[in-house]
């Protein structure tokens, strides 16, 4: 299954996602995603396309005040591999393709940021 996350990222942050292509990294905080690609596209200049085949988040849409968002929550410390960063459309949007890693959770207390 794929889930999607729209984000408004500076160009420098987008460029930083190109550096770990093929390497393992993680998100330190909970990550809100959607099963609905068109909905996620509206949330910024960058669309994360997240392959959850080997590891999944928690579908919280039935608990949400906005069930139409089809929200899937990824736990803090979710590890992933960046597969590709590419222009998404002629409007300047980018897509960042990532694959979640099975059974890997990285918990770092007192740290901030998105990469290790």
Q: How far is CA 5 from CA 12, 106, 109, 115, in A?
A: 18, 20, 24, 17
Task: Name every residue whose Cβ is closer than 8 Å to that of residue 1 and which is 6 or more positions away in sequence.
Answer: 35, 52, 53, 56
CB atoms within 10 A of CB 5: 21
Q: Does domain 2-105 have CATH number 1.10.287.370?
A: no
What is the residue extent of each domain of the chain? Answer: 2-105
Q: What is the pLDDT of residue 56?
A: 78
Task: Name every residue whose Cβ is closer than 8 Å to that of residue 76 and which is 6 or more positions away in sequence.
Answer: 27, 28, 29, 30, 107
pTM for the model stands at 0.84
23, pLDDT greater than 90: no
Section 33-55 average pLDDT = 93
């Amino acid at each position: 299954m794929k889930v999607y996350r729209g984000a408004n990222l500076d160009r420098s942050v987008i460029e930083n996602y190109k550096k770990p292509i093929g390497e393992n990294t993680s998100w330190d905080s909970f990550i809100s995603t959607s099963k609905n690609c068109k909905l996620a596209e509206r949330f910024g200049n960058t669309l994360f396309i997240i392959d959850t085949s080997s590891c999944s988040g928690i579908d919280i849409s039935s608990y949400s005040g906005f069930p139409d968002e089809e929200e899937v929550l990824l736990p803090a410390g979710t590890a992933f591999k960046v597969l590709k960063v590419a222009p998404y459309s002629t409007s300047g949007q980018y897509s960042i393709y990532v694959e979640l890693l099975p059974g890997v959770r990285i918990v770092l207390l007192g740290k901030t940021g998105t990469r290790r």
